[in-house]
Structure 1
Amino acid sequence: MTMTTSASPAESDASGVSLYRALWRWHFFAGLLAIPFMLNLAMTGGLYLFKDEINDTFFAYRYQVEAAGSPLSPDRIVEIAASAVPGSVARSYKDPASATRNAIVTVSSKAGSTLVFVNPYDGDVLDTVVAADEFNQVVRSIHSLAYFGTFPNILTEIAGGFVMVLVATGIYLWWPRRQIGGVVTVRGNPSRRVFWRDMHAVTGAFAGLLIFFLAATGMFWSNTWGSNVQAWLTNKGLGYPAELWDNVPVSKKVTGDVAPNSGWSVEKAPVPMSGTISGEPIGLEKAVSIAKDLGMASGFDTAIPRTETGVYTASIFPDDLSKERTVHIDQYSGTPLVDMGYPLYPAPGKAVAWGVNVHMGQEWGRFNQMLMLATCLAIVFTCVTAVVMWWKRRPSGRLGVPPMPPSRSVYFGLWLITLVFAIAFPMSGIAIVAMIAFDQIVVRFVPPLKRAFA
């Protein structure tokens, strides 16, 4: 992705020229590598913003029902769902979010996890879908490239770091240098390269902070950086209120293992164990009733214990962040062993939860959805204009890489910036170091490459 200007006043100063060209070159290489990933992230992310609307429009037959009397008990619904998938065992139950919503039971068998959609009034099985094949889950998996394995997912993480570099360098290249055109206005017409340059630069400048926000908050789901940050916050007691477990025996499992829809901040929180094994378990119906009495928001999931020491885990990650909550309930006594929600999170945990919620378009209703959709469209637009602009300026038979800076000393400061960035975002930092090393060592001393990259 390139962001160019006509001859700049900064070019009268040698150090200014060097810095400008170095950052332009970085911007180009980062964009060249990141554009395919940015397009995927923007298009699938924009689609996922409207997951509820998609469900209500295209999959209403399995999500919407007509209220008809008293609903069946959770235990009966789970029994119906398990019988719909022979040889399966129920793992979790999603209580209907309203009187016209279905119940969803996740069952597991040798074939894996399956979602069973059940009418809570008459027990009709509306649909069964392999969990990994559910439409919105597929979109989410393609979004992170986790659908294609670990390595592509790591590439997406690297691209996320590159996007932050693109925004930072792009703002520098756009920054007014006593010129008027191309700052907030667009010059020329579509037949001229300057038109595409200005469309790219102005759009990127005005949407830059939102694009940076999406890239930064998206890193929380990344394979290495996100996992390490989550582990660090957990170990320091900054992600969730660890003191709630002080007098509770815990298992080796974490909340994310049993409640996939729990909030990001509590995914690594340990799952407690039920106390003295005595008598019969209270059953799912009683556990759901206890969660409702505790004030859980409608539409929560309840994970069903898998062992004698397991617990019922009721969790919800709703649009209203203040209602995000996870409750672990003793399967014998019905006692809430751990009850935590957004209001109890430490400040860093709240900040991350807020960032995740805004990233997903959930925090301010329709406005948040439209704001994030506009940002996704801006990403697509900057990618398209970058490609068109590059195509118009590239020399025949060559890649058309921006020229190297006349003064190599400028790279000392840039290497320092790269080092700091690499510490903050290791995977992206390593990729940037490799990119610069290739440019400064391989390209410079291999004539065919030097010509191709000119």
Structure 2
Amino acid sequence: MTTTSPQTKRKASLDLYRAVWRWHFYAGLLILPFLIILSITGALYLFNDELDALIHSDLKRVAVQEATQPPATLVNVALDAHPGTAVKYTSPPTPESSAEVTVNALTGERLAVYVNPYTAEVLGALDDRGTIMWTVRYLHSLKYFGPTARKFIEIAAGWSILLVGTGIYLWWPRGKGSSGLVSVRGKPKSRVFWRDLHAVLGIFVGGFIVFLALTGMPWSGVWGGKVNEWANGNNFGYPAGVRVEVPVSNAYLSDQGLTSWSLEQARVPESTPPATPSPRIGLNNAVAAFEQLGLQQGYAVNLPTSAAGVYTGSIYPDDLSQQRVIHLDQYSGEPLLDMSYADYGPLGRWLEFGINVHLGQQFGLVNQLFLLAVCLAIVLMCVAAGVMWWKRRPSGSMGVPPLPADKRIFRGLIATLAIGGVIFPLVGASLIAMLLIDWLAVRPIQERRLTKQTI
């Protein structure tokens, strides 16, 4: 029977460490800029309601008075100021808030018109989703830069999980005591200070990075879209009410505006025009019906734009139990479909909960402040990684960690990475690209440099 000598074990352990370190370096090189951008924009968006109310206070804040004007009156004054077609009415979420009317203007713009609900005075207008915090949200998702750029968010999310996994392996004590594991040694002038700061912050926020990556994935273009398709096709995401026998249109709820992940592919039902001409219920009666059914204030009402259209009332508040979508027949006022968080399938409920925590909504101010601290820690961790790398790298070199002596050590590591690549296809494609770059470009340079040093 053969035994492995301690020296051979140490060599194998060093080779594995080098291989993991190499891929940790590559993961960081690829996604640290994205992590910084996502953390800064995410930290701001945690306080989207508060910041928008402050920045756009001239449009969003009003003095409380005794009685409000009927919703139809508010829509009419908005159309007088900005002629076109009203497509949505959003009720004031608080007594100090303005009402919002979304108008497809004759000029071709889609506008959010803000109206004082007490005096019916038009306070002003912005492009629909034109607030500062919508800008931050679009920067967070790279939506400003088109669908191709948005795919990098999905890649960054997958690689961040790899970054955390390899980082935990590199941090693991291995009998070294607690120095540099939960405490920071040295002073800012030394590399060890930045190495310890990076490692300590990483081990404390690593789990939250994985959580934020996974809960952000449902909104991604490729993976999120496919999972949504699968979940709703197998009744894991859609509310059961989506499958009741009511006439439905070819329009999706997501076409009408922001909705929950579980309802993105929910089709909008249709009103049934009566055999003889009959008056429509109108916005005032629709709003009264929604409030009687228990929609929380701040709800939006999508207005019917055709004879078969419906009034759709929806609310996606911080309290998931109040999340709800109701469709009313525009002639009879009867509910055609009434869906709430409790009706979602198991995967839908789990993902909606994760998304709500991700947005800093589920647990109120505590949720916001905690994730703010996480975002700031991630930014500091990334800065520490950059400083540490700069201090370590040899002059004139990228400072890629050394190759393991036994290249076979990569086999198990790559097999593990490949499993993740199958689950997240874009991550898998980027992994293949990185492997080719490493094998065809980086490795030959390092081997030539090593050969010169040994001559």
TM (norm. structure 2) is 0.93
CA contact (8 A) 1:273 1:330 kept: yes
What is the deviation of 1:11? Answer: 9.7
> Aligned partners of 1:449 and 1:399: how far apart in 2?
15
| Residue aligning to 2:235 | 237
Q: What is the CA distance between 1:14 and its match in structure 2?
A: 2.4
**How far 1:127 moved relative to its partner?**
1.9
Shift of 1:261: 3.1
**Local SS of the residue matching 2:338:** strand
- In the alignment, what sits opposite 1:6? none
1:112 maps to amino acid: E
Residue 188 of structure 1, CA deviation = 1.2
1:441 corresponds to: 440
- Measure, in 1, the Cα distance between the counterparts of 2:31 and 2:347: 29
Question: Kindly tell me: are residues 413 and 356 of structure 1, through their superposed partners in 2, closer, same or farther at Cα, counting changes over 3 Å?
Answer: same
> Which entry has the higher C-alpha Rg, 1 or 2?
2
Post-superposition CA distance 1:62-112 (Å, at most 9, x none): 1111122321111111111122223x2111000111222110011113533
**Cross-structure match for 2:391:** 392
Cross-structure match for 1:311 = 310
Letter in 1 for 2:330: Q
Q: CA deviation at 1:243?
A: 4.4
Shift, 1:125, TM fit: 1.2
3-state SS, counterpart of residue 34 of structure 1: helix
Look up the match of 1:149.
146
- For residue 439 of structure 1, report the CA deviation from its aligned partner: 0.3
Between the aligned partners of 1:76 and 1:391, the Cα distance in structure 2 is 63
For 2:307 and 2:447, the matched residues in 1 are separated by: 68
> Post-superposition shift, 1:449?
9.5
In the TM superposition, 1:305-454 aligns within 5 A as 305-445=304-444
Q: Which SS does the other structure have where 2:331 is aligned?
A: coil
Q: Which residue of structure 2 lines up, in the alignment, with residue 67 of structure 1?
A: 64
Structure 1 counterpart of 2:82: 85
Distance in 1, Cα, partners of 2:125 & 2:378: 36
For residues 316 and 262 of structure 2, what CA distance do their matches in structure 1 show?
11
Q: Work out the CA distance in 1 between the residues paired with 2:258 and 2:315.
A: 7
**What amino acid is the match of 2:410?**
Y
- Provide structure 2 residue ranges, at least 5 long, that are not aligned to the other structure: 1-5
1 CA distance for matches of 2:352 and 2:406? 45
1:4 alignment counterpart? none
**Partner SS, residue 13 of structure 1:** helix
| Alignment check: 8 A CA contact 1:261 1:316 kept | no
Residue identity matched to 2:386: V
The 2-side partners of 1:435 and 1:24 are apart by 15
Shift of the 446–393 alpha-carbon distance from structure 1 to 2, 3 Å rule, reads closer
Following superposition, the deviation at residue 443 of structure 1 comes to: 2.6
Give the Cα separation in 1 of the matches to 2:81 and 2:21: 59
Matched, 1:112 2:126: no
- Distance (whole Å) between structure 2 residues aligned to residue 11 and residue 135 of structure 1: 59
State the percentage of identical aligned residues. 44
CA contact (8 A) 1:418 1:433 kept: no
1:96 is aligned to 2:92: yes
Aligned position for 1:138: 135
Match of 1:76 among 73, 80, 86: 73
Partners of 1:243 and 1:106 lie apart in 2 by 28
Matched-pair contact (CA < 8 Å) for 1:240–1:349: yes
For residues 160 and 397 of structure 2, what CA distance do their matches in structure 1 show?
Answer: 25
Q: Distance in 2 between matches of 1:22 and 1:447?
A: 14
Residue segments in structure 1 that go unaligned for 5+ positions in a row: 1-8
Once the two structures are TM-superposed, the CA of residue 414 in structure 1 deviates from its matched residue by 1.8
Q: Aligned to 2:297, what secondary structure does the other structure show?
A: coil
- Please give the alpha-carbon distance, in whole angstroms, between the structure 1 residues aligned to 2:190 and 2:15: 26
Partner AA of 1:437 in structure 2: L
Deviation at 1:10, TM superposition (A): 11
Alpha-carbon contact 1:263-1:316 (below 8 Å) kept: no
Farther off after superposition, 318-327 or 436-445: 436-445
- 1:121 aligns with 118
For residue 12 of structure 1, report the CA deviation from its aligned partner.
5.8
Contact conserved, 1:443 with 1:450, CA < 8 A, in 2? no
Q: Rate the CA distance shift 1:450–1:297 in 2: closer, same or farther, 3 A.
A: farther
CA contact (8 A) 1:245 1:338 kept: no
Q: CA deviation at 1:23?
A: 1.2
Q: Which residue of 1 aligns with 2:3?
A: none
> Is residue 162–residue 428 contact of structure 1 (8 Å, CA) maintained in 2?
yes
Pairwise CA distance, 1:232: 1.3
Q: For the structure 1 residues 450 and 353, does the alpha-carbon distance in structure 2 shift closer, same or farther, using more than 3 Å as the test?
A: farther
Displacement of 1:415 in angstroms is: 2.1
Q: Deviations over 1:398-434 (max 9, x none)?
A: 1001111211112211222122111211111210121
Q: Show the counterpart of 1:250.
A: 248
- The structure-2 alpha-carbon separation of the partners of 1:220 and 1:385, relative to structure 1 and needing over 3 Å to count, comes to same
| Structure 1 residues 137-193: Cα deviation after superposition (integer angstroms, max 9, x where no partner) | 111001111112111111122111111111111111111111121111111111111
Indicate whether 1:271 and 2:268 are aligned: yes
CA contact (8 A) 1:154 1:223 kept: yes
Instruction: Report SS of the residue matched to 2:183.
Output: coil
**CA deviation digits over 1:298-329, x for unaligned, max 9?**
11001011211111111111011110111111
Query: What are the Cα deviations for residues 226-247 of structure 1, in whole angstroms up to 9, with x where unaligned?
Result: 1111111111111122344321
- CA distance, structure 2, for counterparts of residue 341 and residue 179 of structure 1: 53
Matches of 1:281 and 1:156, distance apart in 2: 45
Q: Secondary structure at the match of 2:176?
A: coil
Residue 56 of structure 1 and its aligned partner are, at CA, apart by 2.7
